[in-house]
Structures are given as structure tokens and as C-alpha cells.
């Protein structure tokens, strides 16, 4: 038998009444494309609900939902979609929908245990909060639901103005399309940055990071903004960090003048263009040091540095320990 078995990650998608369709379709499109882009990891979806059929935010019915399972395997994700207060068309059974929401809340409280990773999209955070799953946890939700989340989870550290928040096994995103950002982050963690970048390009979106969380990938440094010109330049550098990137060339990629791109980088990415390029080269070097036996001179050359000494200087500005520490046993 040849090759390595593909690792499978189950994603249990919970569709509440009046589900915001984009909360489900956006993140799951990320996983669909991730499955097609690489062979190391396969995301396996399972769509469940308190009823086999429900009406969504746009008035389109979704059928064939499986019942809420008795248990969820360790290592799986439970993704809870948001719902629309005012969907297209008439609400058919408000009392019945309230009962279904209560059933989902009770189910979440039972099955989300250590080892199961909870992911809420938009107002799905409110169902998790009702289940007591955000106490003493940092989290976020759609800006229109922030105060409701604070009321439902008084012990939570609710963050506003954040694309998404990761706190251990609790992941939460802001409004609607931020679910795509969150799922790209998950793909970067599970299948690698290159896969996440390829998926983002296919979906014509940008990789953006969530605030100042130090545990996020260095590849996502300076990405918590929405300026398209800066994202275009960042995508180009991240796709080929070892290449020399003169400011004039990056400005052409970004569709801005060199002077304006420098200003935009400082304003939106919080760093200069050269600093960003060096951070990407250090990130590339880190992967080579951890994943190969190349000596430092060859690592430096392949990462775009003139010498190992230049790599160590750039490394020292970002890390307290030297690059050689990644290879020390124990």
C-alpha cells in the first residue's frame, strides 16, 4: 500500500430555523474547494437540524437535514449558523421555530464537550450562549447581536469590531461573510497556508486575520483590514516571498502609486512594505527549518535572504529564540 491516509475532519453543520443561507454556503464552499486543492485533509460535512426541512433567510426551503446526533466525535467541528429575524416571505410557525431553537440549545449543551470544536457564524453565537458554551470565553458575533450576546453570556469576553475570534476550542465570527474568513483560518491551520490562499483566490476574497491574536499564522500578519490594493500586494508577496519585490513592482500589482502604496500599507497593515516582505520571508524560512534538514545558508537563500546572517537579523526582530532552536531535541 502506498501513500499516506488522508486525514478526515467531520464538520457537523447545524441549521436553525430561518437559517442565514450564506452562513452555511460561504464556509462550506471554502471546505469544498479545500478538499479539491490538496490531499492531506478531507473535510466531511454532515448537515443536521431540529427538523428535516426548514425555511431559510431567503425563503428557500432546505430539506434532507439529518436529526441532531446523540454524540459528536472528538476532533470534529460543530458549526452553528445564524438566523434571520425577518426572512423573505412570511414566517410560518413562530412557536414551532422557538421549540426547534430550544432543542438545538439543549443539544449543544449535551454534545459540545472537550475535544469538540464549536464554530458559530453570525447570530449562531446566541444559540451557543444560551447553551452556556461561551462562559469565560472570548467570542464575537454580528455587530447587531453584540449586546444580546453580552446579556446571554455575562461571563463571556465579547469582542466587537472583530472578524472572528478563536479561544481554545471556541471559534466565533462576526456578520455573515466573516464566516468565510473564519473558515479560511481553519483551513490554514488544518491544511496549510498555501491551501487557504488558493481557496481565497478561487472565491475572490482575501485572507484576513482576526485582530492581534498571537497564535494565528505568521502568514496572516497585517491582514485584518479591508483595503483591496493592500491585499493584492500582500497576496503577491505571500505567494512568492523569496522573490525580490521592488516597491514599484508591488505598486503595479496593487494598482497604486509607490508612494500611495507605502502610505496605505502603514495605515491598513500597520507596517511598511519592506517589513511585510521580510516577515513573509521569515515565515517561509521557519517552515523550511522546521520541516527540512537544510543548513541555514540554504534556508536563507531559498527564503530570499542574501545570507544566513541577514536571515538571523530579520529573525531576531520577530522571535526571542534563534532559528536553530527549532531543531534542538527535546
Q: pTM (2 decimals)?
A: 0.70
CB 217 within 8 A of CB 189: yes
Q: Which residue has the higher pLDDT, 328 or 283?
A: 283
Q: What is the pLDDT of residue 1?
A: 45
Does residue 318 carry a pLDDT above 60? yes
Does residue 330 carry a pLDDT above 60? no
Give 138-143's long-range contacts (Cβ < 8 A, gap of 24+).
Answer: 138/165, 138/167, 138/170, 139/165, 139/167, 139/170, 139/172, 140/164, 140/165, 140/172, 140/173, 140/174, 141/172, 141/173, 141/174, 141/175, 142/82, 142/174, 142/175, 142/176, 143/174, 143/175
Give dist(CA 118, CA 92) in Å, integer. Answer: 29
User: How does pLDDT run across 184-214, given as a tens digit for each residue?
Assistant: 989 988 998 778 888 987 887 766 654 434 3
Q: In the chain, what are the helix, strand and coil shares in percent, each to the nearest 5?
A: 45, 15, 40
User: How does pLDDT run across 167-181, given as a tens digit for each residue?
Assistant: 999 999 987 788 998
Give dist(CA 185, CA 220) in Å, integer. Answer: 9
Amino acid at each position: 500500500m502506498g501513500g499516506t491516509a488522508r486525514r478526515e475532519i467531520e464538520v457537523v453543520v447545524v441549521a436553525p430555523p430561518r437559517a442565514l443561507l450564506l452562513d452555511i454556503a460561504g464556509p462550506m464552499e471554502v471546505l469544498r474547494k479545500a478538499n479539491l486543492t490538496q490531499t492531506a485533509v478531507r473535510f466531511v460535512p454532515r448537515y443536521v437540524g431540529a427538523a428535516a426541512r426548514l425555511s431559510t433567510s431567503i425563503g428557500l426551503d432546505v430539506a434532507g437535514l439529518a436529526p441532531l446526533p446523540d454524540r459528536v466525535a472528538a476532533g470534529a467541528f460543530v458549526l452553528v449558523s445564524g438566523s434571520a429575524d425577518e426572512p423573505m416571505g412570511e414566517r410560518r410557525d413562530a412557536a414551532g421555530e422557538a421549540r426547534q431553537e430550544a432543542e438545538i440549545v439543549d443539544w449543544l449543551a449535551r454534545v459540545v464537550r472537550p475535544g469538540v470544536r464549536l464554530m458559530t457564524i453570525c447570530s449562531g453565537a446566541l444559540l451557543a450562549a444560551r447553551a452556556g458554551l461561551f462562559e469565560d470565553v472570548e467570542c464575537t458575533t454580528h455587530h447587531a447581536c453584540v449586546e444580546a450576546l453580552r446579556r446571554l453570556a455575562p461571563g463571556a469576553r465579547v469582542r466587537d469590531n472583530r472578524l472572528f475570534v478563536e479561544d481554545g476550542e471556541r471559534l466565533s465570527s462576526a456578520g455573515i461573510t466573516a464566516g468565510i474568513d473564519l473558515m479560511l483560518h481553519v483551513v490554514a491551520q488544518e491544511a496549510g497556508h498555501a491551501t487557504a490562499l488558493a481557496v481565497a483566490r478561487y472565491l475572490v476574497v482575501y485572507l484576513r486575520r482576526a485582530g492581534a491574536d498571537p497564535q494565528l499564522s505568521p502568514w496572516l500578519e497585517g491582514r485584518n483590514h479591508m483595503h483591496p490594493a493592500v491585499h493584492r500586494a500582500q497576496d503577491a508577496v505571500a505567494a512568492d516571498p523569496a522573490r525580490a519585490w521592488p516597491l514599484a513592482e508591488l505598486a503595479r500589482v496593487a494598482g497604486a502609486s509607490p508612494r500611495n502604496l507605502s502610505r496605505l500599507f502603514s495605515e491598513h497593515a500597520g507596517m511598511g512594505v519592506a517589513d511585510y516582505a521580510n516577515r513573509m520571508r521569515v515565515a517561509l524560512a521557519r517552515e523550511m527549518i522546521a520541516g527540512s534538514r537544510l543548513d541555514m545558508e540554504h534556508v536563507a537563500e531559498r527564503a530570499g535572504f542574501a545570507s544566513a546572517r541577514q536571515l538571523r537579523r530579520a529573525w531576531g526582530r520577530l522571535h526571542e529564540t534563534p532559528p536553530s532552536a527549532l531543531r534542538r531535541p527535546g
